[in-house]
A and B are shown apart, each in its own frame.
Chain A
Amino acid sequence: MKLLVGPGRPGELKVLAAAELTGLRPEVEVVSSQQERVVPFLVGSPLPALLLPNGNFLFSSNAICQYFFTLNGRGPLDATNQWLEWEVTQLRPAVCAALQTAVVQGRKGEDCVAALRGPLSHLNQALIDQAASCLTSDAVTVADIVVWGTLYPLLQDAAQLPADEYGALREWVRRIGNLAACRKAASAVSERHGAQVFRPSLQKQPAPAPLPEGAASGPAEEGEAAVDRKVTEDEVRAAEEAWRRGLAGLPKPKRIQHPVLPKKAERNILVTSALPYVNNIPHLGNIIGCVLSADVFARFCRLRGWNMLYICGTDEYGTATETKALEEGLTPQQICDKYHAIHSHIYRWFSISFDYFGRTTTDHQTRIAQDIFTRLLERGFLSPDTVDQLRCERCERFLADRFVEGGCPFCSYPEARGDQCDLCGKLINAVELKDPKCKICKQTPVIKTSRHLFLDLPKLEDRLEKWLQKSIDSGDWTPNARFITRSWIRDGLKQRCITRDLKWGTPVPLEEFKDKVFYVWFDAPIGYISITADYTEHWEKWWKNPDEVELYNFMAKDNVPFHSVVFPCSLLGAEDNYTLVNSLIATEYLNYEDGKFSKSRGVGVFGDMAKETGIPADTWRFYLLFVRPEGQDSSFSWCDLMLKNNCELLNNLGNFINRAGMFVVKFFAGTVPEMDLTRVDKQLLALVMWELQQYNGNLEKISPLFQKLETEHIEDLRRRYGGQKAPARAPQATPGADAQELQELVTKQGNRVRELKSQKAEKPLIDAEVAALLDLKRRLAGSKTAGKK
């Protein structure tokens, strides 16, 4: 074990004495005062510290002393524990305070005795009561060493203690001080650190929580330092000019004329959100992952005056709809109509500003999908093959992927679905599942062969690579999107089956396959195109115009491979100058409290439940964006929603705006007056402009799309912009009177509250009046400081 010591540390003496007394010889290392982190986990550097053989640290000098004694066979007793606890809680702080005073007021050591009357009397009395030569018995214990060690700097010899008052104590101090171990320890310490080390003036106070290096300045100072970011004269002039021109100097808000079409020499942005499956009511995770994220970017684009089209819609084909239709006794088309309306309604409530929210069950979809298909066929990118498919005899259907469940062939996850494993994310064919079961009737399905068409991804790999590299380099892909795409390709591209034995879907335009439809992951992304076609006949200006259009796809991470590999391959193979994705923005998963959203188990907030809570859509939007899962999965929490609303929206933003507004109403009759800008005002404006430019720059470069603002940054901004009173000139007239007026109001309001409480009025009423009282008090405090300025 190694003992680390440093100069002027009061604990060193007792520790050395204890070591001597118990015959231990730890290696001693002197630590320089500059060295930080003597004990790795403690702020500041408490010394002495003992490094134990097993790597642990003892940083408490009392614990070190006890340790030595324990090793020596003298373990802790109630009596010694009691003294040690008294020493650290009562004696040591008093001694430190006395020494500090001695240094500050230049008092001599003797005067410190007077300052320590309480503890010294206690000691004296205890010795008398004990009627023994040491604190707990006639033998020297750890208690004696610990207490003596702390007292020594003050009373090196007992001579300073008046004999009549502290007779017993004097005796004891002398006795302990004369022990060989103690004398040796004292001389070792003064040898090491110089003879002056025990003089009160040189004693450092061992602060319980020592100030960190470079003592923190108060908030006011930090705020000022931040404001001192240098603004150039040009920036100041520009800000002043902008202020002078006011609204007239701003570009006119763009009037959106539908249909929105790309324009030459302007920035043209096509934004899509992953098409929600019509049958599933979206939950909060779906919403933040797709439509809400895209919506924020879409609104930003509009504000910046770019040509932007935001397209989305419901993905309607597939067996799930077919099954649901049978359940509800409707046709698939009727199901889709019903649920499409539900989706549309939900997104409207959330203020999602689609330019067009369509559906995939249109003639456009059939035409465009079949066209792409035919072109792929003509260019040799499709090949037929027989496929083993799972057919449930009881249900008399070929089982679509989502209706088969079994063990994943890669990771053995027992609930892998037929097309993708939820756990490892790998794409699989349903027939590869271990011990598959039909999800509906739990019967084991049989394998039947069927002929299908395959998209030859390997054949398209070269051009995919070429395009992908360019897109990733020039566009804004989120890191997870890039990673998932790369691992997908690295695993090796295979033939993907793009047809299915189903009825409800886009029919395959080939005689041999006329009873089959397109597989959803071939078909659905084409929905983006067909929905645009539904929106405008000039859809090709968006979708066959890669040179002038930037395509942004928003989705959750499980959709990435289809948007970054399968769909682009289909479009590349069609060789029709299709616009391909430039920026792929993928989120991670949003969980619900400690678990996951689950419609079947009724866990989580779905669809219009949000509306039913009575919490406004904007609050939901704010919170979901706040916890948007970007680099990692995150979680929705009710508690946190409340906290964020109350602290961020209400107390910060809301209060800030409210106060400014009330100030204008109260002192300027509701109109912001004309102002003469001072130098400081102009600098502030220039800083605000600079911040705004940074903000715009950050949002334009999407990835990360949403920069999380760190608490320190926010604090900083709040100090900067909240500290100055707005407007710059407070009315100089009678600040005192204002304070007086407010004071009267406060008193009156206070009385009202007291009255209500004694009347036992309704709680909401009392709460409202209390809130009003607090507000008045805040204003009173504010006006007082204004008056002082």
Chain B
Amino acid sequence: MRAGRSAADSRCLSGCRSGKMAAARVELESLEKTLGLRRRNKLGPSPSDSAVPVLQTNNGPGLVGLTTIASHLVKVAKKEALLGSTAEESAIVQQWLEYRITQIDRCNSQEDTRVVLKELNCYLEDKVYLAGNSLTLADIMVYNGLHHIVAGLTHEEREKFMNVSRWFNHIQHCPGVRQHSAAVIFMKNRLYPSVH
């Protein structure tokens, strides 16, 4: 993990936050691969909060924030469709990116996780993608954020959150999306038909 450039960094070295930074770095680097960007951009922790990633740019202090950097990379890769093709779609993409870093990343307990899964399951009932009719950055980032949660669910729970499972399985199989995470296996046959 790269050491920060300012003295302030050495103060914020709790294992948890540096772990979060490492995870953010891995996620953004994966995203670069997904987007087909070959040039590796320089990522480091923010001086004010070591859990927040900063993208060093050639001029200026750098771009701060996971979803900000992610959106920026999409534009660099000239794949703006991933940010939504209409104003509505774009707003929805933004909303789910925010949901990812506020609701999903801040899940502290089983209770929180259940709420998130329940909300997403309800939302995804009649949708293939989170926004619009094609893959967007929202799907990718929410998938990333949910991965450890979904991987840890039992079969019974995956059936309970059927729509999340369906969407998750679809996204993880979209070309280029899954870079370093393990594929989560979903059963096609119902094990617990009486659930629901």
Contact of A59 (CB < 8 Å), options: B71, B95, B190: B95
> Of residues 73 to 128 in A, which have CB atoms within 8 Å of B's CB atoms?
75-76, 78, 81-82, 84-86, 88-90, 118, 122
- Interface-lining segment among B32-40, B118-126, B170-178: B118-126
Asked if A634 meets B190 with Cβ closer than 8 Å, knowing A59-B95, A60-B99, A640-B155, the reply is: yes
Question: Does B128 sit within 8 A of A, measured CB to CB?
Answer: no
Apart from the given pairs A53-B88, A70-B87, A118-B48, 4 other A-B contacts in the complex at a CB distance below 8 Å: A62-B98, A67-B91, A122-B48, A129-B61
> Of residues 84 to 98 in B, which have CB atoms within 8 Å of A's CB atoms?
87-88, 90-92, 94-95, 98
Establish whether residues B91 and A58, one from each chain, have CB atoms under 8 Å apart when the complex forms: yes
Asked if A629 meets B71 with Cβ closer than 8 Å, knowing A41-B119, A58-B95, A78-B63, the reply is: no
- Interface-lining segment among B9-17, B21-29, B100-108: B100-108
Contact of B189 (CB < 8 Å), options: A67, A118, A635: A635
Establish whether residues B71 and A78, one from each chain, have CB atoms under 8 Å apart when the complex forms: yes
Question: Does A325 sit within 8 A of B, measured CB to CB?
Answer: no
Q: Quick one: closest A residue to B131, CB to CB? A: A56
Q: Quick one: closest B residue to A627, CB to CB? A: B191
Contact of A63 (CB < 8 Å), options: B91, B115, B155, B191: B91
Establish whether residues A56 and B102, one from each chain, have CB atoms under 8 Å apart when the complex forms: no
Complex Cα distance, B72 from A78, in Å, reads: 6
Closest CB in chain B relative to A629 CB, distance in Å: 7
Contact of A67 (CB < 8 Å), options: B67, B87, B188: B87
Establish whether residues B112 and A594, one from each chain, have CB atoms under 8 Å apart when the complex forms: no
Establish whether residues B154 and A643, one from each chain, have CB atoms under 8 Å apart when the complex forms: yes
> Of residues 561 to 577 in A, which have CB atoms within 8 Å of B's CB atoms?
none
Complex Cα distance, B63 from A634, in Å, reads: 51
Asked if A634 meets B67 with Cβ closer than 8 Å, knowing A43-B119, A58-B95, A63-B94, the reply is: no
Establish whether residues B68 and A81, one from each chain, have CB atoms under 8 Å apart when the complex forms: yes
Complex Cα distance, B83 from A129, in Å, reads: 30
> Of residues 179 to 194 in B, which have CB atoms within 8 Å of A's CB atoms?
185, 187-194
Closest CB in chain B relative to A298 CB, distance in Å: 24
Closest CB in chain B relative to A757 CB, distance in Å: 22
Contact of A209 (CB < 8 Å), options: B112, B155, B189: B112
- 18 A-B contact pairs sorted by A residue (CB < 8 Å): A41-B122, A43-B119, A58-B95, A64-B91, A66-B91, A81-B71, A85-B68, A86-B64, A86-B65, A627-B192, A629-B193, A633-B193, A634-B190, A634-B191, A637-B191, A639-B155, A640-B154, A643-B154
Point out which of B61, B88, B91, B112 has the most chain A C-beta atoms below 10 A from its C-beta.
B91
> Of residues 118 to 167 in B, which have CB atoms within 8 Å of A's CB atoms?
118-120, 122-123, 125, 154-156
Q: Quick one: closest B residue to A65, CB to CB? A: B91
Question: Does A423 sit within 8 A of B, measured CB to CB?
Answer: no
> Of residues 697 to 731 in A, which have CB atoms within 8 Å of B's CB atoms?
708, 711
Question: Does A259 sit within 8 A of B, measured CB to CB?
Answer: no
State the 6 A-B residue pairs at the shortest beta-carbon distance, nearest first.
Answer: A635-B189, A632-B193, A41-B122, A85-B65, A67-B91, A63-B95
Contact of A60 (CB < 8 Å), options: B95, B106, B120, B155: B95
Closest CB in chain A relative to B63 CB, distance in Å: 6
Residues of chain B within 8 A of A82, CB atoms compared: 63-65, 68
Chain B residues with CB under 8 Å of chain A are 48-49, 52, 61, 63-68, 71-72, 75, 83, 87-88, 90-92, 94-95, 98-99, 101-103, 106, 111-112, 115-116, 118-120, 122-123, 125, 154-156, 185, 187-194
Q: 1/0 per position for A41-67, CB-CB distance to B under 8 A? A: 111000000001110101110111011
Residues of chain A within 8 A of B154, CB atoms compared: 640, 643
Closest CB in chain B relative to A370 CB, distance in Å: 43
Complex Cα distance, B159 from A637, in Å, reads: 14
Asked if A52 meets B191 with Cβ closer than 8 Å, knowing A82-B63, A89-B65, the reply is: no
Point out which of A70, A81, A640 has the most chain B C-beta atoms below 10 A from its C-beta.
A81
Question: Does A593 sit within 8 A of B, measured CB to CB?
Answer: yes
How many residues belonging to A are interface residues under a CB distance threshold of 8 Å?
Answer: 53
Complex Cα distance, B94 from A454, in Å, reads: 72
Establish whether residues A635 and B63, one from each chain, have CB atoms under 8 Å apart when the complex forms: no
Asked if A594 meets B187 with Cβ closer than 8 Å, knowing A43-B119, A66-B94, A630-B193, the reply is: yes
Contact of B192 (CB < 8 Å), options: A58, A86, A122, A634: A634
Asked if A81 meets B65 with Cβ closer than 8 Å, knowing A60-B98, A637-B155, A640-B155, the reply is: yes
Complex Cα distance, B193 from A122, in Å, reads: 54
Residues of chain B within 8 A of A52, CB atoms compared: 88, 91
Closest CB in chain B relative to A50 CB, distance in Å: 8
Establish whether residues A41 and B123, one from each chain, have CB atoms under 8 Å apart when the complex forms: yes
Closest CB in chain A relative to B33 CB, distance in Å: 21
Question: Does A616 sit within 8 A of B, measured CB to CB?
Answer: no
Establish whether residues B71 and A76, one from each chain, have CB atoms under 8 Å apart when the complex forms: yes
Asked if A63 meets B98 with Cβ closer than 8 Å, knowing A76-B90, A209-B112, A640-B155, the reply is: yes
Residues of chain B within 8 A of A75, CB atoms compared: 87, 90
Closest CB in chain A relative to B82 CB, distance in Å: 13
Q: Quick one: closest B residue to A80, CB to CB? A: B68
Establish whether residues A67 and B119, one from each chain, have CB atoms under 8 Å apart when the complex forms: no
Contact of A631 (CB < 8 Å), options: B63, B95, B188, B194: B194
Closest CB in chain B relative to A626 CB, distance in Å: 9
Asked if A637 meets B187 with Cβ closer than 8 Å, knowing A78-B68, A89-B102, A630-B194, the reply is: yes
Question: Does A764 sit within 8 A of B, measured CB to CB?
Answer: no
Establish whether residues B94 and A634, one from each chain, have CB atoms under 8 Å apart when the complex forms: no
Residues of chain B within 8 A of A711, CB atoms compared: 156
Q: Quick one: closest A residue to B107, CB to CB? A: A209
Establish whether residues B123 and A76, one from each chain, have CB atoms under 8 Å apart when the complex forms: no
Question: Does A208 sit within 8 A of B, measured CB to CB?
Answer: yes
Residues of chain A within 8 A of B185, CB atoms compared: 639
Asked if A71 meets B187 with Cβ closer than 8 Å, knowing A76-B71, A85-B65, A629-B193, the reply is: no
